[in-house]
Amino acid sequence: MLSRDNVVRFTIEAILFFVLSALAVVGVILATNTREYTRLQAGLMADYADVLPASSYTEVQSALVEGYGISNVYEGLDEDGNPNGFVVEVEVTDHQTGNPLNLMIGIDYNTAQLTGLQRDPQDQGLSAITDEDISTIFNQTRGQQIPVAYGIQRQDTADAAEQQVLAGLNDGIYYAQTLSADRSGYIDYVEMSIENGMITMVQWDAFNVDMNIKNRRESSLDGVYEVAGLNWASQSYILCHALMDVQNPDLLAMKSDGTTDIIDGVSVNIRTFVELCVECIENSRAEFDKDMYFAALREIIDGLFEGDFESLGVVNDDEFIVFTFDGYPGVFALPDGSQMNVRQKITGDMSDYSDFDSTAADGGEQMSSDSRGSEDGIRTGDSAYDADSIDGIPMAEINTYIDGIEGDIMSTSDIVSAINTAYRFLKDYLNWMA
Amino acid sequence: MTDRVKAPFIHTENNDAYSAAAHLVSLVPAVAVGVVFYGLRALILIAFCSLLFAMSDDVCSRIRKMSRGSILNPLYNGAVIALLLPPDTPIYIAASGVLFASVVIRQLSGGRGSSFLNAACAGRLFIRIVFPMNEAALALPGGDRVMLRSLIFGAYSPEPVDLSQYYFSELVAGRFPSFIGTSCAVILLAGMIYLISKKVLKPYLPACYLGMLTLLLLIKDIYLGTAQTGYFLFTSGILFTAAYLLFDDDTVKSFGPVSVIQAFLCAALTFLASFKMTGIDLLVIPVLITGILTDVLDFSDKVIKASAEDVTDAES
């Protein structure tokens, strides 16, 4: 038997030992976190760099993954931490042998284009589909938007060419941010790329006046920033893509309460987004690009603090200028009580760039002004196309048509099916309509 | 000065219960590692195995009308079995190993101290044989710490990892897929030092075992032109063997020359086993063989000594 003293002593030692050991383990975990991250990224880079070039990869944790025959999904991020695409690992059945075929499919975040298609390193090589077959399909789909269909010709090519775009847009990257923070301390911003007079990329996010708080997109993915319905990051993504589809913020059909009914999955107030998009479009027309915007904002703040911008410490790690003009209401005020924006304040150019008439992409006839601001929806919903489907995807959604592997319909079908499985997953995951 | 607690003729407090308590406390760091790395399921497995071993031991002792002894030793053995399990082991598999160790090995061979095999090692080997699991694909440390479904349904078959891709610091920290309590070298050394400080483990025994094994591995590395010694020492779990398996009551009958031979013997067996075995086989089979051979050695030693005494008596 143990003496009472020993019982007490051993008990105290056990408790102390547990606490110290747990602290030591947590310590070594923290000390080796960087190593682990570096090792994991090196492994992912080796596997995925050819499929989707990215600076880093992060695993998508979603219950949806299991429902599609998908083994893993990774999101590729650029050097600034912004998403640039997805790598989806899909397992399909090779119908010639009945064996599984594991493929890695890379998809660009902004354009939904196929960036890579390869056999997964985990594939056991039981399928009759060769690397040459996969390569043939990839050569036909490289840089093309998914989903994909084969052996049929697209009938609405001519219609697609008549996508409506805004007139007078100059190519470049344009930017606008709100001049005051919202109730949660977030300053919204929109960044817009314009190529060949068309909006090709839109990003809506917000950084916080408290620089220790992550941006709104990350916070929503972490579950810290919550909104009704889908998480905010997904809603932002859907909204940005909807704008890329319609090319005109007026066609997002914002209602008087700031919401819209015509974009599935978007329930947040989009007023700030629309206003910032309008500002970006006006900046594009005035050839006032992102660099000029930042320089202008800096100059305005510099003027407020008599050339003391550097000492304010208002530039965050992502190089955004974290400054709210809430305490300086007169800075952007016009004599008539209306407000200027950053471009107008710095250039003094009060010209009206807000004509939102649309023209066809080929410079043809103007879009009817009757549709501006209406709530009649984005999609036309041609029932002739909606009736047929491939891999469960309506033909109306198919973006790319290929010839496939000559004389091998089954292999073509299996590989295309894998690509379309990735599409269906991403569509559900992001409530995505490419 | 006379000790107020102990009788004057007792010169040491290192009795059976004290030794068992020290062993049990020495497991605390390994338990902490298991809980931090694998969460609630590891804690439940450890607690379940310990309590089941203690209950089984108690019931068996009552049935056999034998002295029940300290509860601490069966708690220790149950915890050792749990720490040697994959983190995603279902609870019924753990229970089978514990009951095999407690009822078959320990009781049928005469109870604690009389057993010719390390009960925990035998229990774990039983699980390995009867319920073979893919021990090349264990759960990653630091995953879902509140997940409990594996206690019923088992592992979800994680992908095997290539440990050669890990940084050395990660291996030392134990941040690689492993059994619940065998990975973190720093923590296992802390447990070993605790046992030595409590005088229930002689420092030269683990030193002999680890020293001999390291020497053999270095010779192998030099001969083959490889550099696997450090990798082996930190990933195979042999530090757990040195701290908790090899020098328990059942395997080491007494400290002295026989125990040193035993340490060398186990090191040699582990080295030979490393050519063909991995995972749990490498940890427990050399210990079990050493235990059997040690009994033979011990018996031979006593026979020789008895014969020598007989000769001396006859001469006198």
Q: Is residue B171 within 8 Å of B183, Cβ to Cβ? A: no
What residues of A are in contact with residue B25 (Cβ under 8 Å)?
Answer: 10, 13-14, 17
Class in CATH terms, A164-291+346-371: alpha beta
Alpha-carbon distances of A422 from A87, A307, A415, A419, B223, rounded to whole Å: 9, 53, 11, 5, 51
What residues of B are in contact with residue A1 (Cβ under 8 Å)?
Answer: 17, 70
B96 pLDDT more than 90:
yes
pLDDT at A375: 36
A380 pLDDT more than 70:
no
Interface contact flag, A22 B36, Cβ < 8 Å = yes
Which of A9, A32, A38, A47 is the best residue to mutate to test the B interface, defined by the most B CB atoms within 10 Å of its own CB? Answer: A32
Among A130-144, A256-270, A390-404, B280-294, the minimum mean pLDDT is found in: A390-404
Interface contact flag, A31 B24, Cβ < 8 Å = no
- Strand A186-195 to A198-208 pairing: antiparallel
Distance from CA of A25 to the nearest CA of B (A): 6
A12 pLDDT more than 80:
yes
The enclosing H or E element of A101 equals strand A100-108
Interface contact flag, A6 B13, Cβ < 8 Å = yes
Domains located in chain B, CATH noted: 16-315 (1.10.3430)
Distance from CA of A71 to the nearest CA of B (A): 11
Alpha-carbon distance of A202 to A240, in angstroms, equals: 5
Distance from CA of B204 to the nearest CA of A (A): 24
**Which residues does A contribute to its contact with B (CB < 8 Å)?**
1-3, 5-7, 10, 13-14, 17-18, 21-22, 24-26, 28-29, 31-32, 35-36, 38-39, 42-43, 122
Give the mean model confidence (pLDDT) for residues A139-155.
Answer: 74
Interface contact flag, A21 B190, Cβ < 8 Å = yes
Closest CA to A314 of A292, A298, A296, A290: A298
Which tokens belong to B179?
A: 């059994």
pTM: 0.60
Which tokens belong to B32?
A: 């902490």
Q: Please count the residues of chain A.
A: 434
Nearest CA in chain B to A21: B29
Alpha-carbon distance of A380 to A49, in angstroms, equals: 38
Distance from CA of A212 to the nearest CA of B (A): 25
Interface contact flag, B175 A21, Cβ < 8 Å = no
More confident residue, B270 or A3: B270
Q: How confident is the model at residue B214 (pLDDT cuts 50, 70, 90)?
A: very high
Nearest CA in chain B to A36: B170
Interface contact flag, B17 A2, Cβ < 8 Å = yes
Interface contact flag, A2 B5, Cβ < 8 Å = no
Q: Which of B13, B36, B169 sits opposite A26 (nearest CB)?
A: B36
Nearest CA in chain B to A24: B187
Summarize pLDDT for A160-175 with one digit per residue, the tens: 444 567 888 899 999 9
Distance from CA of A55 to the nearest CA of B (A): 20
Query: Which ranges of A216-257 does DSSP label H, i.e. alpha helix?
Result: 216-221, 232-246
Nearest CA in chain A to B24: A14
Q: How many CA atoms lie within 13 A of A358 on its CB side?
A: 21
Summarize pLDDT for B236-287 with one digit per residue, the tens: 889 999 988 887 766 666 667 778 888 899 999 999 999 888 888 899 999 9
Interface contact flag, B28 A17, Cβ < 8 Å = yes
Domain regions of chain A by residue span = 56-156+382-429, 164-291+346-371
Interface contact flag, B174 A28, Cβ < 8 Å = yes
Distance from CA of A224 to the nearest CA of B (A): 19
Distance from CA of A92 to the nearest CA of B (A): 19
Summarize pLDDT for A162-218 with one digit per residue, the tens: 456 788 889 999 999 999 898 889 999 999 999 888 888 889 999 999 988 888 988
Interface contact flag, B28 A18, Cβ < 8 Å = yes
What residues of A are in contact with residue B159 (Cβ under 8 Å)?
Answer: 122
